[in-house]
Chain A
Amino acid sequence: MSTNIIEKNGPVLGADGKPLKKSLQRTLRRQKFRAVILIVPLLLFILITFIIPIADMLFRSVENQIVSETLPRTVVALEGWDIDSGDTPEENVFAALAEDLKIAAAARQHMKLASRLNYEHSGISSLFRKSGRKAKKWDAAADAPFKEKFLKIDKNWGNPEVWRTIKTYSSPYTAGYFLNAVDLKLGADGVAMRDEDQRIYLLLLKRTLFMSLTITLGCILLGYPVAWLLANLPMRTSNILLILVLLPFWTSLLVRTSAWKVLLQQQGVINDALVWMRIVDDANRLALINNQFGTIIAMTHILLPFMILPLYSVMKTIPPSYVRAAKSLGATNWTAFWRVYFPQSIPGIGAGSILVFILSIGYYITPELVGGTDGVFISNRIAYHISTSLNWGLAAALGAILLILVTALYWIYDRIVGIDNVKLG
């Protein structure tokens, strides 16, 4: 048996004569390294399939290389044009444009650029469409001067607003999409609010946040009693109830939403029942769907299991002895619940609320089907820009704003409730 050699004023030595502290550190390092090696494949997988594509998509919200890549000479020539002068550019700009357009039209790139500029100024698409066809046949030297040629194709080439748009959006990176996403625009005098008839995103953002908060509150109020019941009933009954809670999860989302349509329509089941019971007049049936009310109801129903399950798992860990002790010390039923039971279930409420809130902010199928005009979320506009208008820059900007908002709310939640306080079983 070897013994530790303890010197009076030196470090503690291990069995092999090396300092114990260093041996310990080396062992811990090796353990950590082993743990990291086990995680690295998963980390790489998430990085490659999740984080990098999302970052790439969000990056589209600022990238604008298409203008300077498709029209390099025009962009350079426009540097000499005064954006506030109110005149059309000179012949050198048009000549540069003719050359760029000829190359771009041959490569079928000019309309991609035109669509991008068309988002900022309607009508630019047709300018490029008409000019691209003609420009393919032009010769740089022989067909000069180009200014009259362009003006003959379409007189809007003489509109300084068109050129202002091209010049404003000629830099490789632009804040234009983010400005558009909050109803601002790059106007003549810098950043300004958009016209009244085009301001929609801030309104939608407010509505989305308000409705998501309402849905979260509704889920808490409806889900708490159910979770309490599940946690406090004997095992057999509680299991059957749990199956009933989970069953809607296994039905398709569209089926559930369509079922709400049948129930909530003006000629639907609920209105028919109310008219039959003479609570409501036949001519004044309640409008329960195609408005905010319909969205809130349908989405509360769909997101309820996401609130019940975390609540249930937290409540299951609350020992019943505390409530009994409180009652034995003289507390009423209500005081025992509110001052002893409820504070212990707050982490469950926090976990459930975060889940429900984040899910509901990003929803777009249900609001699309039952929301009508005032129950749509901002995600509906994001979906429109991805699928139909192909304005992926704006969609990415709106998505980035949502991401920042949700991250900020999560940070606030962390400060108030604390992530580490969430016990999930």
Chain B
Amino acid sequence: MSFKHLTLGICIAALSASSAFADDMTIVSWGGAYQKSQQKAYHEPYMKLNPEVNIINSDSSAEAVAKLRAMTEAGNITWDVVDAVASDAIRMCDEGLAMIIDPEKDLNPAPDGTSVTKDFNDLIVSECHIPNIVYSTTVGYRTDLVGDTPPTSICALFDLEAYPGKRALEKRPINNLEWALYCDGVEKDEIYNVLETEEGLARAFAKLDTIKDQVIWYTAFADTPQLLASGEIVMGSTFNGRLFALIEEQKQPVAMLWDAQVFDLDGWIIPVGLSDERKERALDYLRFATDTQRLADQAKYIPYGPARVSSAALVGKHAELGIDMAPHMPTNPVNAKNSFLFNFTWWADYRDDMDAKFQTWLAN
């Protein structure tokens, strides 16, 4: 090979290599319908506005905390923006894995001038996390298997006489313990104080014991829709978006039981340790993806309530089904009459302890 060919080859290789790395942004999310809605509402408009940026999707959010910790220890962060639920974000913030974001400085205020913090209305629960949606864990039930009186209260879960049959609950203590105590007669604002005591926890487990052998404990949230569709269970808890897909898109004989739904927040964090250039780009994306119109746009594809107050008015119809999205939002006042908000600080402290005890209770 002559010297000319060699230099030509090296130049071409260098050029192509540099263009491959330039302006690729990796955004991590949960996959499935949720990530598709983000692709349509956030990524595609952003890439249209910034043609030199290429957004690569990764669906590792379920493992994000562990993977980010491993990446930080190795000193090689390959992610730019990560979608994480608030409790994961608190954990990542504690461990120093997520960057501190100043909402007033880094995000856009509402179109009518309301400040960012007021527009998010107490939903910024961690200094590293910017919420974009409010989703909830609710119960869905088979309309043809519940007899003549459909359930209206969460305590139907524990009522084996009126609603016999199997139930599906998540294989972790979150939400189950709260519902158990609530249906055992504890006041909503006392629940966490009661759970901290040993007698309170025993009370919650005793209530769950009454239905324990009728419950299918799932780990994948896709299980409940499948079990409902096959008639294996009479009612089961899962994310409201999954139930919406089951009811509206797949037309199964299932209905939503909104009572005592538990709100949770999903949003963005930016990993610590990015180069200045990547950090600038990530913050620019964040500014775009968390503004009022964008959050309302995402609601066109998936029934998760936008975290901003100013976005609620802009929520319209579903992009494909053409139905009004407002009645399906967990934040709709009709649905949110009796709701819980996930107690992030309490679970951040007690999660490991409760989980150990819950798994022991399950295993015995």
Count how many chain A residues have C-beta atoms less than 8 Å from C-beta atoms of the other chain: 40
- Report how many residues on chain B are interfacial, defined by Cβ distance under 8 Å: 35
* Chain B contacts for A372, CB-based, 8 A: 216-217
Partner of B66, one of A125, A126, A376, A390: A390
**Chain B residue nearest in CB terms to A381:** B359
CB-contacts of B320-364 with A (<8 A): 345, 348-353, 355-357, 359-364
Majority secondary structure, B binding face: helix
Which residues on the B side are within 8 Å of A112 (C-beta)? Answer: 94-96
* Chain B 83-99 interface mask (CB, 8 Å, partner A; 1/0): 00000000101111000
Which of chain A's residues has its CB closest to B359's CB?
A: A200
Instruction: Count chain A CB atoms within 10 A of each CB in B65, B345, B363 and give the residue with the most.
Output: B363
Q: Does A172 sit within 8 A of B, measured CB to CB?
A: no
Residues of B within 8 A of A261 (CB): 226
Closest Cβ–Cβ distance, residue B267 to chain A (whole Å): 19
Given A108-B96, A198-B356, A265-B230, does the pair A389, B217 have CB atoms closer than 8 Å? no
- Within the complex, what minimum Cβ distance (angstroms) separates A196 from chain B? 8
For the complex formed, measure the closest distance between the CB of A78 and the CB atoms of chain B, giving whole angstroms.
Answer: 22
Decide yes or no: A197 and B66 within 8 Å by CB, A118-B352, A265-B230 being known contacts.
no
Q: Does A386 contact B (CB under 8 A)?
A: yes
Q: Is the CB of B219 within 8 A of A369?
A: yes
A388 interface residue, CB < 8 Å from B? yes
B69 on interface, CB distance cutoff 8 Å? yes
Contact call A200/B63, Cβ cutoff below 8 A: no
Interface flag for A115 (CB, 8 Å):
yes
- Are A390 and B217 closer than 8 Å at their CB atoms? no
Kindly state whether residue B231 has any CB partner on chain A within 8 Å: yes
Residue in B232, B350, B364 whose beta carbon sits within 8 Å of that of A267 in the complex = B232
Partner of B352, one of A122, A376, A387: A122
Q: Is the CB of A122 within 8 A of B353?
A: yes
**Taking the complex as formed, is A161 at the interface, i.e. its CB lies under 8 A from any CB of chain B?**
no
8 A Cβ contacts from B21-69 to A:
62-63, 65-66, 69
Query: Are the C-beta atoms of A200 and B95 separated by less than 8 Å?
Result: no
Cα-based distance from A391 to B62 in the complex (angstroms): 16
The reply to whether the CB of A284 lies closer than 8 angstroms to some CB of chain B is no
CB distance from A104 to the nearest CB of B (A): 11
Per-residue CB contact flags for chain A residues 101-128 toward chain B (1 = under 8 Å, else 0) read: 0000000110110110011001111100
Residues of A within 8 A of B (CB): 108-109, 111-112, 114-115, 118-119, 122-126, 129, 197-200, 203-204, 261, 265-268, 290, 368-369, 372-374, 376, 381, 384, 386-391
Binding site for A on B (CB under 8 A): 62-63, 65-66, 69, 91, 93-96, 166, 216-217, 219-220, 226, 230-232, 345, 348-353, 355-357, 359-364
Across the A-B interface, give the 4 residue pairs with the lowest CB-CB distance, nearest first.
Answer: A111-B94, A122-B353, A108-B96, A200-B360
Q: List 29 A-B contacts (CB under 8 A).
A: A112-B94, A114-B94, A115-B95, A118-B352, A122-B349, A123-B349, A126-B348, A126-B349, A129-B94, A197-B357, A197-B361, A198-B356, A199-B360, A200-B359, A369-B220, A372-B217, A373-B362, A373-B363, A376-B363, A386-B66, A387-B62, A387-B65, A388-B66, A389-B351, A389-B352, A389-B355, A390-B66, A390-B91, A390-B95
